[in-house]
Structure 1
């Protein structure tokens, strides 16, 4: 399934920084039950590849599981071997995107400028992560979308919460990376579920 199809199901990407393997399935299940089906485990979490492996095995085609803070081709290979299907980077690395595509992964690399955005799209990026979004604005996103190819999916990441996503959505954001306002290390699955439901409601104007 294309990344845009996953985002059409729910445009929220859960960034589970600090997740442990034992938490992976229960926290992931809480998110999927709330409707959030794109799950990202940053590689600076404890045993991230094992968490990805467990969630990929548990959810199969019911969720898109992948990794964030990806920096090297070796990490891409590990993610693919574990069953991960999504690459997210904090930076604009066209070579890493090209390599990820050869391994069958969907790619949402980070960028901040039009120059970076066009280079990443030329490398095969499926979506662009606007990062850090706190240093930009919905007006910046609107201007960026005006010059990018029609239909380009841009996801602001950084500072996104139930309170902030509205103006970004209105500016044309295709999705949002949600980190600490959804999950913090050690949070019980029930707490994550409650926050996930609130975010989904905010997304739909609830």
Structure 2
């Protein structure tokens, strides 16, 4: 898949991490039903590889579905076997190189200009600016875009609806959203509330200047 093109078109990636595998699967499927095209299942969730494999089976081969928190080469191999079509990392570990070797595009975690240079040199499709809120929010993203105007930045971490709008206005290609979108759904919480949040985030990212 062309991950950068998908991020540019959809402008939102949902991050599912939960303590209840069945609830996490229901969360993935509900997000897909609500039109969230890009979904990441974090490997730090309970039985995440099974969730990923079951989600792939339910969604079919053509749906963009990624594995998050890919830290090691073993993580990348396991995610690939489970059906992940792309990998998301919090930093520039061995998982980046192995995922790329396996043919999975990578949304690679960065924070500093040095990280950006290294991630692009390794072939990352896009750059996960993490943790976005703690790093200075949209103002920091705008500063990074000065030396890297053509980089595809995806802020992640503390991105609520208002922050999503601010980051996109500052030049983000997309935003990655975990708990402000998923809430407690992946732990067995209310799917109706999840649908409401999904619609609110979709409305926010679909706004164009």
Runs of 4+ in 1 over 4 A off after TM superposition: none
For residue 189 of structure 2, what is the aligned residue in structure 1?
187
Larger mean CA deviation between 13-22 and 155-164 belongs to 13-22
Would the alpha carbon gap of residues 106 and 19 (structure 1) be closer, same or farther in structure 2, given more than 3 Å must change?
A: farther
Distance 2:8 2:121 in 1: 23
Contact kept? 2:75, 2:95, Cα under 8 Å: no
CA apart distance, 1:163: 1.9
Distance 2:24 2:51 in 1: 5
Distance 2:13 2:19 in 1: 15
CA apart distance, 1:24: 4.2
For residue 52 of structure 1, what is the aligned residue in structure 2?
52
Contact kept? 1:154, 1:173, Cα under 8 Å: yes
**SS of residue matched to 2:119:** helix
For residue 86 of structure 2, what is the aligned residue in structure 1?
86
Contact kept? 1:182, 1:192, Cα under 8 Å: yes
Identify the match of residue 200 of structure 1 among 193, 196, 202.
202
CA apart distance, 1:161: 1.1
CA apart distance, 1:63: 2.5
Contact kept? 2:109, 2:130, Cα under 8 Å: yes
Contact kept? 1:19, 1:48, Cα under 8 Å: no
**SS of residue matched to 1:167:** helix
CA RMSD of superposed structures (Å): 1.8
Distance 1:29 1:43 in 2: 17
Under a length normalisation based on structure 1, what TM-score does the superposition of the two structures give?
0.91
CA apart distance, 1:60: 2.3
Under a length normalisation based on structure 2, what TM-score does the superposition of the two structures give?
0.90
Distance 1:149 1:199 in 2: 25
For residue 73 of structure 2, what is the aligned residue in structure 1?
73
Q: Deviations over 1:54-88 (max 9, x none)?
A: 11122124531122122110111000001111211
Larger mean CA deviation between 59-68 and 71-80 belongs to 59-68
Unpaired runs of 5+ in structure 2? none
